[in-house]
Amino acid sequence: MVTHENGGGHEQHHPPSGFIRKYVFSIDHKVIGIQYLMLALFSVFVGMALSLLMRLHLGWPTAKFAFFHGGQMTPEQYLALMTMHGTIMVFMVLTTAPQSGFGNYFLPIQIGAADMAFPVLNMLSFWTTFVSLVVMICAFFVSGGAPIGGWTSYPPLSALGEIVGPGQGGGETLWIVGLAIFCGASLMGALNFITTLIDLRAKGMTLGRLPLTCWTWFVTAILGLLAFGVLLAACILLLLDRLAGTSFFIPGGLVVTDQVITWHKGGSPLLWQHLFWFFGHPEVYIAILPGMGVASHLLSTFSRKPVFGYRAMVAAVCGIGFLGFCVWGHHMFVSGMSPYSAFAFSILTMTIGVPSAIKTFNWLGTLWGGKIQFNCAMLFALGFVSLFVSGGLSGLFLAQPALDLYLHDGYFVVAHFHLIMGVAAIFGMFAGLYFWFPKMFGRFLNEGIGKVHFWLTFIGVYTIFMPMHFLGLAGNPRRYSEMTAGPFLLALQPVHVFISIAAFITIGAQLIFLFNFLWSLFAGKEAKEENPWHATTLEWSIPSPPPHDNFGGVEPVVYHGPYEFSVPGAADDYIPQHLAPNLVRKA
């Protein structure tokens, strides 16, 4: 049901006075955007800490550490860390920061709106997300600890309760409830994003003049709107199987820890997989599309050239979004599906290579012949392109059922999805943060420290994930807590040690970023100009940080496309979108 806002359109844009209304339960999209980013920042460090513990154990499985109960990590503890690492990173970082964080802050400003269409709903979606994070983290502290079923939580193991292992009791229930709450939060957010973009664009902001960032936030919101309802339905079915004794996903005749399960019969674990991946594959694009938007935006801005093939870029984003709903079966090639289905899913999956290649070609076309400025924001945008290509190419291997049967349960897949979904999306976020930090906080992030951060991270992530491809090709299974079970796995152990050391260094480099972030927030170089990057979009036409209602109670008018750089005949090498044609200085 549609939400009705309190107060008229004008009243709600008076800045709130109290601390609670201003910073906690704020309805200002900029504050909510920063709240989302802070939630993601907290989550990413939790997620990294979990991966650090996992890498410690994978590198030195027999070493004893005082902080593990009994000195050594058990396989179940490893699986709990893996589950929570994946869940927190996918939902609380990759889904929230690029879309809900940066999108919330900049989508209304870039289209010339004072706020989101429904500010109260916006606040509600943030606090619902916060509740879902709290519920999920509570899973660590209940009897049995966090769930061990992985971020995909496949039944029947996720549906049977404590009988199948620690963490599958209360921890798993909290995990599912947390995820269901997250679905609700994401649906509210998606609805708000789409409505805002459709109905609140300033005069002159036609679809053809939307910055590509807005296009990607728009398509991402559509994906979220159509996908999260399906995940919510799946979560409800799974909860009923666990708590009410139904048998949607649990087949009959299961034997678990020497006990025959007699109270369930006839269900299908594959049904969960279909529902989950119908959501799960669009989720990949929910994570990566905003990064594509930021990369396109920055490559154009910092090579002082228009985006090469703007319309093709928009079509490619829409194409990727559409195809994202047609390929979920490629996550299930090893489930025993009909080869004909697998063939169809395989062809459709490889079709995604077409819009992806268009995007990559156009990014290179944008750079070609440009006056490239290698600042931190641009470096991370270039890093995004690099990681997108490296991670995407291995997708072509995995899209083929014959190859996937061998590679699916090994480290090749770990390498693939970390590069393309995890690290590429995070590079998109870093690019956005270095670019927009002066607008958001009125100060620059330190460029020198930022470059150290970039190079350590860029080299670091390749050093971590490239060798994983070889581990996968060599047959190293994923989800194993240690590789001590046989000579061929033992022979691969030095690679794990190497990867662990690389991971520690890369995680350490993120502390450099954290220092830069906190230090620059209070003592960074002040951004005195409104538009220090000489960029074209509307956020650069207002003060840094922007006032409460963005444009000071007036509505901007848009006259130009989003990427009018180096226009022949103009004196300056950029034409801001809001600049009236008669005010453009001639060369």
Partner 1 sequence: MPGTIVDDVEIIDAGHGGGTPPPAGGDDDGDSHRPRRPVPPRAYFTALQLGLAAIVMFFMALASSYIVRKGLGLDWQSTPLPRVLWFNTAILLASSATIVVARKKLEGGEREAFRSWWWVTTGLGLLFLTGQVIAWHQLAASGMLLATNPSSSFFYLLTAAHGAHLAGGILALFYVAFRPWSRSRISQSTAAELASIYWHFMDGLWVFLLALLTLGR
Site residues for partner 1, 114-133, by CB under 8 A, read: 114, 117-118
Tell whether residue 7 is a contact of partner 1 (CB under 8 A): yes
| Interface with partner 1 in residues 426-465 (CB under 8 A) | none
- Tell me the HSE value of 234 on the side-chain side, using a 13 A CA sphere: 25
Tell whether residue 208 is a contact of partner 1 (CB under 8 A): yes
Q: 């409800």: which residue's tokens?
A: 236
CA-to-CA separations, 32 to 91, 127, 561, in angstroms, rounded:
17, 9, 28
- The identity of residue 91, as a single letter, is F
Q: Which of 78, 105, 465, 574 binds partner 1 (CB under 8 A)?
A: 574
Return the SS3 of 69: coil
- The identity of residue 78, as a single letter, is Y
- Cβ proximity to partner 1, 10 vs 64, nearer residue: 10
CB of 167 to partner 1, least distance (A): 24
Q: Which residues are bridge partners to 203 per DSSP?
A: 557
- Cβ proximity to partner 1, 229 vs 353, nearer residue: 229
Cβ neighbour number for residue 133 with a 10 Å cutoff: 23
Tell whether residue 3 is a contact of partner 1 (CB under 8 A): yes
- Cβ proximity to partner 1, 37 vs 238, nearer residue: 238
For residue 576, count CB atoms less than 10 angstroms from its CB and return exposed for 0-12, middle for 13-18, buried for 19 or more.
Answer: buried
- Cβ proximity to partner 1, 140 vs 322, nearer residue: 322
- Are 386 and 299 a contacting pair, CB within 8 Å? no
- Are 378 and 302 a contacting pair, CB within 8 Å? yes
Tell whether residue 39 is a contact of partner 1 (CB under 8 A): no
| Interface with partner 1 in residues 146-205 (CB under 8 A) | 187, 190-192, 194-196, 198-205
Tell whether residue 507 is a contact of partner 1 (CB under 8 A): no
Tell whether residue 109 is a contact of partner 1 (CB under 8 A): no
CB of 551 to partner 1, least distance (A): 7
Question: CA-to-CA distance for 528 and 444, rounded, in angstroms?
Answer: 10
CB of 550 to partner 1, least distance (A): 9
Tell whether residue 542 is a contact of partner 1 (CB under 8 A): no
Tell whether residue 245 is a contact of partner 1 (CB under 8 A): yes
Tell whether residue 225 is a contact of partner 1 (CB under 8 A): yes
Q: Which helix (H) or strand (E) holds 255?
A: strand 255-256
CB of 508 to partner 1, least distance (A): 40
Q: Read off the tokens for 145.
A: 């600890």
Q: Which stretch binds partner 1 (CB under 8 A): 69-77, 225-233, 347-355, 418-426?
A: 225-233
Tell whether residue 304 is a contact of partner 1 (CB under 8 A): no
CB of 103 to partner 1, least distance (A): 16
Return the SS3 of 533: coil
Return the SS3 of 64: coil
| Interface with partner 1 in residues 247-266 (CB under 8 A) | 247-248, 252, 265-266
CA-to-CA separations, 417 to 86, 297, 388, 392, in angstroms, rounded:
11, 24, 10, 9
Convert residues 87-106 into a mask of x (bound to partner 1 by CB under 8 A) and - (unbound): --------------------
Tell whether residue 13 is a contact of partner 1 (CB under 8 A): yes
- Are 210 and 196 a contacting pair, CB within 8 Å? no
Convert residues 306-345 into a mask of x (bound to partner 1 by CB under 8 A) and - (unbound): x---------------------------------------
Tell whether residue 526 is a contact of partner 1 (CB under 8 A): no
Tell whether residue 555 is a contact of partner 1 (CB under 8 A): yes
Question: CA-to-CA distance for 328 and 445, rounded, in angstroms?
Answer: 40
- Cβ proximity to partner 1, 506 vs 541, nearer residue: 541
- Cβ proximity to partner 1, 319 vs 576, nearer residue: 576
CA-to-CA separations, 188 to 214, 220, 224, 230, 446, in angstroms, rounded:
18, 13, 10, 15, 36
Tell whether residue 305 is a contact of partner 1 (CB under 8 A): no
CB of 191 to partner 1, least distance (A): 5
- Cβ proximity to partner 1, 426 vs 558, nearer residue: 558
- Cβ proximity to partner 1, 31 vs 187, nearer residue: 187
Tell whether residue 275 is a contact of partner 1 (CB under 8 A): yes
Question: CA-to-CA distance for 308 and 359, rounded, in angstroms?
Answer: 9
Q: Which residues are bridge partners to 410 per DSSP?
A: 477
CA-to-CA separations, 414 to 13, 32, 40, in angstroms, rounded:
46, 33, 22
- Are 566 and 573 a contacting pair, CB within 8 Å? yes
